[in-house]
Amino acid sequence: MRLHQWLFETASWREQQGQEGGERTADSDVVDEMVQNVGAYIMGRKMFGGGDGPWDKTWRGWWGDEPPYHAPVFVLTHHPREPLSMQGGTTFTFVTDGIEPALRQARAAAGARDVLIAGGASAVRQYLAAGLLDELYLHIVPVILGSGERLLENVGDPTLEPVKVLASPAVTHVKYRIVRRQRP
C-alpha cells in the first residue's frame, strides 16, 4: 500500500470516490490528468485480484461495492467469468483471448475517449512489448521492494520520449510518449 499512498492522499482521488478531504497538490493534478478523458480501462488478473486459478465467484475486487473506475473495465485472464456489474457505472468484463481482443473491446466501449491500461506490471509489459501503447506514465515512489514483477523486462527496445517530469515529496511522475520506429 505504500506504493499508492500518494494517490490516496490527493483531493482528486478522494473526489472520484465521493469522499471529502485530501490535498490539492501537483500529485492531485496528475490524477486529474490521468483520468480526464478515459472511456475504458484494461487491467490484469492480479490487479483485479482474487488469486490464481479458477475464480472465486464471491471475489468482487479490492474496492468494495463501488470501484473507482466509473467506466467499463476489461480484465485479462485465462479463466472465464461472467461480466460483473457494480455501482458507479463500472462493469468488469473478463477477457480470455489475449491483449489485442481486450484492446479492441475497450476501444469500442471507449468510443472517442481514451483507453487506460491500469496495470499491473504484466499487462503494461505485454502492451508495451506489442507496440500498443502511445504513452507510459510512471509514478516512481521512494520505496525499495524486495521482490515483484519487473515492469520493463522483455519489452523490446521502444523509444520513450519524456514529455513531462513532476516531482513531489511522495512521488516522481514521468510521462513518456512512445515513438514507433519506422520499419525498413
- The strand ranges marked E within 32-154 are 38-44, 73-76, 84-85, 91-95, 114-119, 135-140
pLDDT at 64: 82
Residue 21 grid cell: 478531504
Q: What cell was used for 117?
A: 491500461
pLDDT at 68: 87
HSE (side-chain half, CA atoms, 13 Å) at 168: 18
Q: Report the DSSP beta bridge partners of residue 140.
A: 172
Among all chains, which residue has been given the C-alpha cell 491500461?
117
The span from the first CA to the last CA of the chain, in angstroms, equals 45
170 conformational bin, left if phi > 0, alpha if psi -120 to 50, beta if neither: alpha
Could you give the CA distance from residue 5 to residue 162 in angstroms, rounded to a whole number? 24
pTM: 0.91
pLDDT along the chain (184 residues), means of 10: 89 87 92 93 93 89 87 97 94 97 98 95 95 95 86 92 95 94 61
Separation between Cα atoms, residue 20 and residue 81, nearest integer Å: 35
Helix H, strand E, coil C: the string for 39-67 is EEEEEEHHHHCCCCCCCCCCCCCCCCCCC
C-alpha to C-alpha distance for 111 and 38, rounded to whole angstroms: 10
The CATH number of the structural domain formed by 37-49+67-132 is: 3.40.430.10
Residue 12 CA to residue 176 CA, distance in Å, equals 22
Taking the C-alpha atoms of residue 172 and residue 8, their distance in angstroms, rounded to an integer, is 15
pLDDT of residue 44: 96
- Please give the pLDDT value at position 183: 58
